[in-house]
Amino acid sequence: MSALRLLGTSKSLFSASSRSFSHNANSSEPSFLDSVDAYFKEASALVPDIQPDVLEIIKQCRTVHKISFPIKLGTNEKTKKEETEIIKAWRCQHSPHRTPMKGGIRFAPDVYEEEVIALATLMSYKCAVVDVPFGGAKGGIKIDPTKYTVNQLESITRRYAAELIKKNMLGPGVDVPAPDMGTGEREMSWIKDTYEQFTNDLNASACVTGKPVTQGGIRGRKEATGLGVFYCIREALSYPEDCKKMGLTPGLKGKTAVVQGFGNVGSFSAKFLHEHGVKVICIVEKDVAIVNEEGLNIEELLLWQAKSRTIEGFPGAKRTIKENPLSGIELQCDILIPAAMENQITSENAHRIKAKLIGEGANGPVTSAADKILYAKGALIIPDILANAGGVAVSYFEWLKNLQHVRFGRMTKRFSEAQLIFISDAFQQSTGKTLNIKADVGDELNLVRSGLLDTMSTSYAQVREVSHEKGCSMRIAAFICAIRKISKAYEQLGIFP
Query: CA 57 to CA 40: how far, in whole Å?
Result: 12
| 138 counts as catalytic | yes
Residue type, 275: E
Contact 93, 105 (CB under 8 A): no
Contact 153, 145 (CB under 8 A): yes
Beta bridge partners of 91: 65, 139
Q: Which helix (H) or strand (E) holds 311?
A: none
Helix orientation angle between 474-492 and 444-470, rounded to the nearest 10 degrees: 100
Strand 319-321 relative to strand 335-338, pairing = unpaired
Contact 165, 196 (CB under 8 A): no
What DSSP state is assigned to residue 356?
S
Query: CA 92 to CA 410: how far, in whole Å?
Result: 36
Q: Provide the H-helix boundaries in 377-473.
A: 384-387, 390-404, 413-431, 444-470
Q: Which of 99, 105, 32, 27 is nearest to 65 (CA)?
A: 105
What DSSP state is assigned to residue 195?
H
Contact 336, 328 (CB under 8 A): no
Residue type, 255: K
The percent of the chain in helix, strand and coil, each rounded to the nearest 5, is 45, 15, 40
Q: Which helix (H) or strand (E) holds 43?
A: helix 32-44
Q: How far apart are the first and last CA of the chain?
A: 61
Query: CA 481 to CA 222: how far, in whole Å?
Result: 27
Q: Which of 304, 305, 306, 261 is nearest to 280 (CA)?
A: 261
Query: CA 226 to CA 476: how far, in whole Å?
Result: 22
Strand 101-107 relative to strand 380-382, pairing = unpaired
Contact 253, 233 (CB under 8 A): no
Contact 476, 42 (CB under 8 A): yes
Buried b / exposed e across 378-405, counting CB within 10 Å, b at 16+? ebbbbbbbbbbbbbbbbbbbbbebbeee
Residue of 59, 88, 102, 138 marked catalytic: 138
Residue type, 6: L
What DSSP state is assigned to residue 345?
B
| Active site amino acids | 138
